Amino acid sequence: MKSIAILGSTGSIGTQSLEVIAANQDQFCVSALAAYHNDILLEKQIEYFKPKIAVLVDKNAADRLIRRYSGSTIILAGEEGLLEAAVHEDVSTVLTSLVGFAGLKPTLKAIKAGKNIALANKETLVAAGELVTQIAKDNHVKILPVDSEHSAIFQCLQGENSKKVNRILLTASGGPFHGLKREELEHVTIEDCLRHPNWSMGKKITVDSSTLANKGLEVIEARWLFDISYSQIEVVVHRQSIIHSMVEFVDGSVMAQLGKPDMRVPIQYALTYPERSVTEYPKLDFKTLSALTFSAPDMVNFPILSLAFIAGNTGGTLPCVFNAANEEAVYAFLQGKIRYLDIFIVIRSVMESHEVNKQPDLNEIYSADLWSRAQAQEIIKAI
């Protein structure tokens, strides 16, 4: 029986993770749940899974829940509560599905406490990949990928010599605007962005998917997860989202992991690894697959992916800056403050004005994040 903490339990990955756990109650129990402000859904999760502790980072939301809740679960509030959930003594695996840079501190806290990590918060490795992977190694902690693409690569590498990898082929759906030109993107709306053709995800990651920023974040995450150079990572647009990623070996052989676009499968694999468990989720029917298509990403009309490669290759604080500027720009877009194409302008402007620290410590990473957000906000105000 594995005891799980889920950080971000009311989000898309969090709720699907709880579906997986509910279907495998002979293998898992939930000891800790944490969310930002959705006290209504968290209360329902508490009633069903009966964790030892539950956390709402938003203290007003926590106060609302505390006033009406009378069960045995301890309700905590704020970042202090979040960090306590990450290191709870009963927990063996922490599934981190918090959105954005906010996932870094609790993930590091969990690693230092010796908890294995099921990682759905890619920004942790984007912002501080070198430091996080070294701390995990020092503490003998496994970081198991939850993202479908990284789970696919991880599965393809099982039983293989990672030094014999020639390149990783990271697949991308292309998002809802695949094939559109820049002039056609001028008047894209929030509603347009949130209509992803294949996946059901949260708002921020769905916008990121449309701009290809999400694929850029995944490129940087892959570099650290699999200890591979950026020159060995290639993005391939695969509209059907059936092949979740591929690994090419030095002899030219290519291994691919296929499946329905269903996040519950990689979530379950991260939680059950190294075992596999039976699922009742929809399976592929190869007789009905008419085509699997592949093409190069359009980095002219969707240039944020190029910025991600620049950030990754430059290293130091620049990936953190890329991530922070993107977060601020996307939230500004979702609030109607800037247009869709302004997201790229904000990120590029912040990156160009940043003086890169090539060997940052954690405090310098946090400082770079704060600087980038302030810089992005100034640019957003000026647009």
Is 186 labelled a binding residue? Answer: no
CB 347 within 8 A of CB 326: yes
Give me the sheet containing 2-7, strands edge to edge: 74-77, 53-56, 28-35, 2-7, 93-96, 116-119, 143-145
Check the annotation: does 196 bind a ligand.
yes
Does the annotation place 109 within a ligand binding site?
no
Cα(124)–Cα(161) distance, integer angstroms: 26
Around 90, how many Cα atoms within 13 Å sit in the side-chain half-sphere?
15
Is 122 labelled a binding residue?
yes
For residues 165 and 228, the answer to whether their CB atoms sit within 8 Å is: yes
State how far the Cα of 173 lies from the Cα of 241, in Å rounded to an integer: 6
Within the chain, residue ranges assigned H as helices are: 12-22, 39-49, 59-68, 78-86, 104-112, 123-138, 148-156, 190-193, 203-211, 213-225, 264-272, 304-314, 318-334, 342-352, 362-382
Residue 210 annotated as lining a ligand binding site: no
277 assigned ligand-binding residue: no
187 is in an annotated binding site: no
| 214 annotated to bind ligand | yes
CA 286 to chain centre: 29
To the question of whether residue 84 is assigned a binding role by annotation, the answer is: no
12 is in an annotated binding site: yes
Nearest to 165 by CA among 255, 257, 256, 247: 247
Task: Please measure the distance between the N-terminal and C-terminal CA atoms of the chain and give it in whole angstroms.
Answer: 53
Q: Annotated binding residue at 147?
A: yes
Asked whether residue 181 is marked as a ligand-binding residue, the answer is no
Judge whether 173 is annotated as a binding position.
yes
Is 358 annotated in a binding site? The answer is: no
d(C-alpha 370, C-alpha 335), whole Å: 20
- Residues 18, 34 contacting (CB under 8 angstroms): no
215 is known to lie in a ligand binding site: yes
- List Cα–Cα distances, 229 to 168, 226, 320, in angstroms: 10, 9, 18
Token pair in block for residue 240: 């059907």
Q: What is the DSSP string of 153-194?
A: HHHHTTTS-GGGEEEEEEEE---TTTT--GGGGTT--HHHHT
Is 312 labeled as ligand-binding? Answer: no
What residue numbers does the annotated binding site for NADPH cover? 10-13, 38, 121, 123, 202
Binding site membership: which residues? 10-13, 38, 121-123, 147-149, 173, 196, 202, 209, 214-215, 218
Which residues are annotated as part of the binding site for Mn(2+)?
A: 147, 149, 218
> Which residues make up each annotated binding site for 1-deoxy-D-xylulose 5-phosphate?
122, 148-149, 173, 196, 209, 214-215, 218
